[in-house]
Every structure is written in C-alpha cells, then in structure tokens.
Amino acid sequence: MADMHAIRVTVNGLPYEATVESRLLLADFLRDHLGLVGTHLGCEHGVCGACTVILNGRTVRSCLVFAVQADGAQIMTVEGLARDSQFHPLQEAFRDKQGLQCGFCTPGMLMRAYEFLQENPNPTEEEIREAIAGNLCRCTGYQFIVEAIQDAAARMAVASR
Amino acid sequence: MKPAAFTYFAPSSLDQAVSLLADHAPEAKPLAGGQSLIPLINFRLAESRYLIDLNRISELSYIREADGTIAIGAMTRQFEAERSELVSRTIPLLTEALRFTGHPTIRHRGTVGGALAHADPAAELPAVAVALGAELVARGPAGTRTIPAGEFFLGPLSTALAPDELLVEVRIPQLPPRAGWAFLELSRRHGDFAIVGVAAVITLAPDGRVERASLALCGAGPKPVRASRAEAALAGASPSQERFREAGEIAAQEIDPDSDLHASAYYRRRVATVLVRRALAEAHRRATEGR
C-alpha cells in the first residue's frame, strides 16, 4: 500500500488540495499534479538550482522537499512572477539582456534573483555572482545573467520611485 | 532518480518523535532540513522504511544563552543562526562558517542539528563544533545525554548517536575575552563542500602570548580533525607569522585527507598548511584588535 497523505497548499495565490504519496517531491507535485511545468528539474539532488521555488517566503529547492512537507504552505513558482500578462521587470531584463539561452536554468535563476533583489535592491556584480552561485547555467557563462539582474535592479528602483 | 517508497510521520512534539523513532529504529531515519538526506534518498543511496520528519517540532528551534554557552535547538535553520545577533556577538566563528555552508537557498531549509548529525567530513559545522568544544545533547527512550563534540564524530556520516537517539541541541561555549577567530575554506565554487576548511580560535594571555589555540579542519580526514599537536606548539608561544607557518606545517602532518575527484591528498595537505597559517594570523589580528 502506498503511503498517501492529504495536503493543502497555496500556489501563486491559488488554493489546491491533493492526496499525495509521501515520496513525491514537491517539484514533481508542482509539475505533474498541478501542471506548473515552469519549475524545472535538473539534477534532482540539490546541486543545480533549476527547481528553486519560494516556500513560505524563502527560496528552497523543490527537489529537496517532499510535497507532503509543504502541507499548509504558501508557494510561489516562476508562473507567479508575471502579473496580468505583464512580465515582471526581472523577466523583461532577462529577455532584453539575453540572460538565457536554452532556458532550463531560468526559472530557478529568476526565483533566486527575485528573492535576492528584495534583500539587496542595489547589489554589486560580486554580490550577484555570489547570490546565484547555487544556480548552475551551462550556456551563458553567467555574464548576461549577471547583467540582467543588474538591469532588473535598476528597473525595479525606477518602478518603486 | 525518484525516491523509493517509505512511510512518513510528521510528529508535532519531541516526545512523539522520540517514541516514533524508538518504535521503528533501526529502519527509521529522522528527517531534519533534508538538504543532505533527501539527495541520498533520491539517489536511493539511503533507504529507510520510515521517515520521521522533525520539521513540525517547533520546540526544537531556538537560540538562547545558557550558563556561558549558546544553546541552539537542533531544528534551528542555518540561515536563522547565520543572522542571529546573539550568535554573531558570542560565537562569531559559527556565523563566519555558516556563510560557507551551502548556498542561501540550502541554508533556508538546512538545520544546525542536521549538519552536525549528518557528519559529512567535508562539512563546516562539525569542524566548528570540535574547534569550539561544543557539547551535543541527544535524547532517546532512555533519556537525555550529553556528548562532547570530540567524541561525537566517529567517521564519514557516522556519529555516536544510537539508532533510536535524536540530536536535540548543541551547546557552544561563548568565546572568552581576548579571543580571536577565523574560518577559512577553499572550494571550487562558493558554497560547495570544502576541499579543505579550517576553524581557528586563538586566546591571548594578558601579556600577548598565546594562552590557547584551537584548530579543527574539515575535508581533511574521515571526520573533523583536531590539530592537537599544532595547538600544543602554539600554547605559550609569542605569536608571529613564523609560529603560524610552523603550526600550519604541523597541522598538515596531523590530518588524514583522501584523494578524490576534487583534489589529491597531497594538494589538500598543501592547502591546509596555507589555510592554517592564514586562519591563525586572522584570528590573532581579531584577538588583538578586539574583534
């Protein structure tokens, strides 16, 4: 008999109820059960950062949390960044600065950068590089990602003025 | 890969967790932050029939002063300890080491107790616990006992905890006056496991000599290694670059590093020589400048 548990979560502001097996990873729950396939699963052991989501206000790796552990939690995924079909300034900056190539790492990069810019709205290049050290990108060499985050910081500063 | 099936419990009190563990040990594993255990489960390198999730036990999450020590509940998140004003004031070596412990996203979930109980020989917190002479408090069906950090770590991923015991608290002595500290680490990428890391504390006598030095290294053997001969060579010495360099060379002979994908044992010894010297110099600078 599979070990099943009823859970309730709020994802990007919407409530969900589900019954999940205890071994189901939060990342697989988001993707396969809720259809939120923006969250990417790369390494499945907490190294690549592609599956980063925000759980109760802090980034976590959704491959290192079981769905059952998220019972009662507020979750934000990359699908929650845009508002009213308007890209978040971070998304615009990634697009304009070509902060992505294949796009696989992008959801994790965006969620980590979203959190980081809230803590540090005016970061140096060095601070950005350290902030995203837990997110691997195999295409860009990081330079355009760093520039995109700097650009997003500037856009967000203007927007909040 | 995906995890194998297991039965999941999420007790809300420590008493419940201890009794669940007693009922199901040795086939049960406590789950703390999961930042080391869940990768092993995903790879099916660790398989437990029962997982006892400690994340709903709020009584295990605290940082408080107790009899000259700082008591940290095992389920305190690493980022909470990292940002704690009490910790940075009284045991700043821990604050400094936590910045090397994985990435911020890992520290949001990872716990202080989990990093200690997992006992990865390359991890920072076990070395800090050994360098500072911490005590680890374990609770099992027979009651509570206290284990000195020097006796807690037995080998890679192996501790003095019995299968039915939980680590519930770590007690870390506050740094004494005239003490300086440093944590230095070499890794390929910030936040990765240490190729070698060094935790150092120097306490000066009123005349400026070294009263006591503590040195523990990670990535340097099957468990955190205390460099006792280097410590002994420093005790009573007049601090100087030359003494620190000698201590580095002694420490490099005391460690027992492995060769692996990341570095050879030879390279690790060379790195240890340099990091110990630098850590001692930084600890001494802080001891003389009053932090």
State pLDDT tens for residues A37-72. 999 999 999 999 999 999 999 999 999 999 999 999
Instruction: Say if the ipTM goes beyond 0.85.
Output: yes
**Do residue B5 and residue A5 have CB atoms under 8 angstroms apart?**
no
A residues 69..88 contacting B (CB < 8 A): 69
Residues of A in contact with B55 (CB under 8 A): 69
Confidence of residue B265 (pLDDT cuts 50, 70, 90): very high
Q: Calculate what percentage of chain A has a pLDDT beyond 90.
A: 96
Is B291 a residue whose pLDDT tops 60? no
Q: Round to whole Å and give the CA distance between B166 and B160.
A: 11
Write down the pLDDT at residue B290.
66
Write down the pLDDT at residue A85.
86
Q: Where are the alpha helices (DSSP H) in chain A?
A: 26-28, 89-96, 106-119, 125-131, 143-159
Interface probe for A, chosen from B75, B105, B193, B262 (most Cβ of A below 10 Å), is B105
The residue extents of the domains of chain B are 7-53, 58-173, 179-289
Residue A28: count other Cβ atoms within 10 Å of its Cβ.
Answer: 21
Give CATH for domain B58-173. 3.30.465.10
Residues of A in contact with B108 (CB under 8 A): 58-60
Confidence of residue B123 (pLDDT cuts 50, 70, 90): very high
**DSSP conformational letter for B239:** P
Write down the pLDDT at residue A103.
97
**Do residue A69 and residue B102 have CB atoms under 8 angstroms apart?**
no
Residues B190-224 as b/e (b if ≥16 CB within 10 A, e otherwise) read ebbbbbbbbbbbbbbeeeeebbebbbbbbbbbbbb
| Contact present, A112 and A59 (Cβ < 8 Å) | yes
Q: Calculate what percentage of chain A has a pLDDT beyond 70.
A: 100
pLDDT single digits (tens) B142-197 = 999 999 999 999 999 999 999 999 999 999 999 999 999 999 999 988 788 899 99
Burial class of residue A33 (count of CB atoms within 10 Å of its CB; 0-12, 13-18, 19+): middle
In what helix (H) or strand (E) does residue B146 lie, and over which residues does it extend?
A: strand B143-148
| Least confident range of A147-161, B15-29, B58-72, B204-218 | A147-161
**Do residue A44 and residue B42 have CB atoms under 8 angstroms apart?**
yes
Nearest to B6 by CA among B53, B51, B44, B52: B51
CATH among 3.90.226.10, 1.10.150.120, 3.30.390.10, 3.40.50.1000 for A89-159? 1.10.150.120
Third-level CATH fold of A4-80: Ubiquitin-like (UB roll) (3.10.20)
Residues B45-59 have a mean pLDDT of: 95
Count of positions (residues) in chain B: 291
The strand ranges marked E within chain B are: 7-9, 28-31, 50-53, 63-66, 69-73, 135-140, 143-148, 153-155, 158-159, 166-173, 179-186, 196-204, 210-218, 225-226
Residues of B in contact with A49 (CB under 8 A): 103, 105
Note whether A59 contacts B: Cβ–Cβ < 8 A: yes
Q: Amino acid identity, residue B238?
A: S
| Least confident range of A93-107, B92-106, B186-200, B252-266 | B186-200
Domain with CATH 3.10.20.30 in chain A: 4-80
Write down the pLDDT at residue B1.
79
Nearest to A128 by CA among A141, A140, A117, A139: A117
pLDDT single digits (tens) B207-227 = 999 999 999 999 999 999 999
Residue A64: which of B8, B39, B190 has the nearest Cβ? Answer: B39
**Do residue A22 and residue B8 have CB atoms under 8 angstroms apart?**
yes
Residues A94-129 as b/e (b if ≥16 CB within 10 A, e otherwise) read beebebbeeebbbbbbbbbbbbbbeeeeebeeeebb
Q: φ, ψ for residue A111 (rounded to 5)? A: -70, -40
Note whether A123 contacts B: Cβ–Cβ < 8 A: no
Q: Round to whole Å and give the CA distance between B196 and B194.
A: 5
Distance from CA of B266 to the nearest CA of A (A): 27
Third-level CATH fold of B7-53: 3.30.43
Count of positions (residues) in chain A: 161
Write down the pLDDT at residue B189.
80
Note whether A103 contacts B: Cβ–Cβ < 8 A: no
Is B29 a residue whose pLDDT tops 60? yes
Q: Calculate what percentage of chain B has a pLDDT beyond 90.
A: 94
Domain with CATH 1.10.150.120 in chain A: 89-159
The number of C-beta contacts closer than 8 angstroms across A and B is 81
Q: Which residue has the tokens 């540090």?
A: A120
Residue A64: which of B4, B34, B104 has the nearest Cβ? Answer: B34
Residues B131-135 have a mean pLDDT of: 98
Distance from CA of A24 to the nearest CA of B (A): 8
Residues of A in contact with B105 (CB under 8 A): 49, 52, 58-61, 112, 134
| Contact present, B55 and A69 (Cβ < 8 Å) | yes
Third-level CATH fold of B179-289: Enolase-like; domain 1 (3.30.390)
Residue B59 tokens, joined: 């009584």
**DSSP conformational letter for B194:** P
